[in-house]
Amino acid sequence: MSGIEVITFGCRLNTYESEVMKAEAAKAGLSDAILINTCAVTGEAVRQARQAIRRARRENPNTRIVVTGCAAQTDAQSFAAMPEVDAVLGNEEKLKAEYYRRIPDFGVEGEEKIRVNDIMSISETAPQMVAHIDGHVRGFLQVQTGCDHRCTFCIIPYGRGNSRSVPMGAVVEQARRLAENGYREVVLTGVDATSYGADLPGGPSLGLLAKTLLKQVPEIRRLRLSSIDSIEVDSHLFDLIADEPRFMPHLHLSLQHGDDLILKRMKRRHGRSDAVNFARKVRALRPDIAFGADMIAGFPTETEEMFGNAVGLAEEIGIAHLHVFPYSPRPGTPAARMTQVDRTLVKERAARLRESAQKLHTAHLSSMVGTRQTILVENNGMGHTENFSLVEASGLAPRDLVTVTITGHNGKNLEMQLASRSAA
């Protein structure tokens, strides 16, 4: 191979940062290199990254392999010990050309490969400007990174550091740049996006940022948020939900569970009733909204009754897009030292929760049949409605905004008939 290839795991923030990495590595003069941007959320994510590293070396024996991302930040030594790896960069270093210039020559071992700092010592986030997001018709835009909370199951604060926000002006400038390059939809991303602004002068909120962005960049037709913590949602965000048609009617909630004792042991800041009340309030403001959520099955000490409460919460709220994670102990976290649920039972509960998720998703799709929807056409012959439901849209041009009538579904995706093309 020649040039720079980036293999990305994990969240939308990683996807955004991969574009920055590619640009910074090119600026440094790096070529014939594969950059692997890892995720540390689950043990499975780390396993997949290691598998990708080995495959990359088999297929590219003479190419430099640089490993970075959250898993590299939290466990640099184990990646440096892999013979396939030429260098390990931390989450801060991966965004700076100078560290790609310092990548050691082939054949070095152990500590010589590592360029990873103390992420907790970083107190600011420099705005990173990208012109496009490779392979995506939606523009991801970093507004924040890091997390000040310490959920007992989560390793990510140790991979990302404490919460740091991108100044509002820089976010608006980047959104304008994406709009100028043809992106009609922008997704605001962060590790804990709803904590946005607490570290900035005046303490602006995520809702105020979104309001400002939509006002100053009218070319943005659709604004969407990545995962949010509902307990942190501010009045500006509720205003947008109620009154702003360009703010998309879809919220992905970081629920994690539906049992109060498990939520307490997770060190979450919301209880079951908080989640229910939030969903009710939002639905009253925007009846067409759809919720996504993350939930963990088999958390330590989880009984069958507690698991049932998780399933019940998903059903009570009516989660249309539920992401299920079997609990995965992360070394160094408090939950890894708690009484563990048998692995077979963890997998079985995850499967049952996914069955419930499929029923909820099917019910959601059925409720949309016969409605008119505006979809943004993706590169893969699919499109997303405003409430983030997937529509089969073969034959339509990527980046098009079109109005369709939903004619049916196959249990996974919606089917449509073209009604009209939206104005540019």
Say if residue 424's pLDDT is above 60.
no
pLDDT of residue 411: 93
C-alpha dihedral sign at 302, 341, 343, 158: positive
HSE-up of 184 (CA within 13 Å, CB side)? 19
Which is nearest to 33 in space by CA: 68, 66, 59?
66
pTM listed for this prediction: 0.90
Tell me which architecture the domain covering 138-367 has in CATH. Answer: Alpha-Beta Horseshoe (3.80)
Mean pLDDT for 101-110 is: 70
pLDDT at 108 over 70: no
Q: Is the pLDDT of residue 350 over 70?
A: yes
pLDDT tens digits for 291-348? 999 999 999 999 999 999 999 999 999 999 999 999 999 988 999 999 999 999 999 9
Percent of the chain with pLDDT over 90: 84
User: In this structure, is the dihedral angle defined by the CA atoms of residues 266, 270, 273 and 279, taken in order, positive or negative?
Assistant: negative
Confidence (pLDDT) at 333: 95
Three-state DSSP class for residue 233: coil
* pLDDT digits 0-9 by tens, 145-192: 999 999 999 999 999 999 999 999 999 999 999 999 999 999 999 999
332's CB contacts (< 8 A; 6+ apart) are: 74, 155, 158
Which letter does DSSP use for residue 104 in this model? P
Question: Phi and psi of 324, rounded to 5°?
Answer: -105, 130
Q: Enumerate residues 6+ apart whose C-beta is below 8 A from 63.
A: 1, 32, 33, 34, 56
- pLDDT greater than 60 at residue 1: no
Q: What is the pLDDT of residues 239-293, one digit of tens each?
A: 999 999 999 999 999 999 999 999 999 999 999 999 999 999 999 999 999 999 9
Mean pLDDT of the chain: 93
Q: At 29, phi and psi to the nearest 5?
A: 85, 10
Does the pLDDT at position 422 exceed 60? no
Q: Is the pLDDT of residue 50 over 90?
A: yes
Q: Name the one residue in this structure whose structure tokens are 């941007």.
A: 37
pLDDT higher than threshold 80 for residue 132: no
Q: CB-based contacts of 185: which residues, under 8 Å, 6+ apart? A: 137, 138, 139, 220, 221, 222, 223, 224, 248, 376
Domain boundaries, the chain: 4-115, 138-367, 371-418
Q: Which amino acid is at 115?
A: R
- Fold classification of 371-418 is OB fold (Dihydrolipoamide Acetyltransferase, E2P) (2.40.50)
Same fold, 4-115 and 371-418: no
Question: Once rounded to an integer, what is the mean pLDDT over residues 181-207?
Answer: 95
The DSSP code for 50 is: H
pLDDT at 110: 61
Q: What is the mean pLDDT of residues 29-55?
A: 93
- Evaluate if residue 75 carries a pLDDT over 80: yes
- Taking each helix axis from N to C end, the angle separating 235-243 and 272-285, rounded to the nearest 10 degrees, works out to 40
Which is higher by pLDDT, 22 or 419? 22
pLDDT at 261: 98
pLDDT number for residue 3: 87
**pLDDT reported for residue 33:** 93
Please classify residue 60 by burial: count the beta carbons closer than 10 Å to its beta carbon, then call 0-12 exposed, 13-18 middle and 19+ buried.
Answer: middle
The partner residues of 189 in beta bridges, in order of sequence, read 142
Query: What's the CATH number of domain 4-115, 3.40.50.12160, 3.30.43.10, 3.50.50.60, 3.40.50.20?
Result: 3.40.50.12160
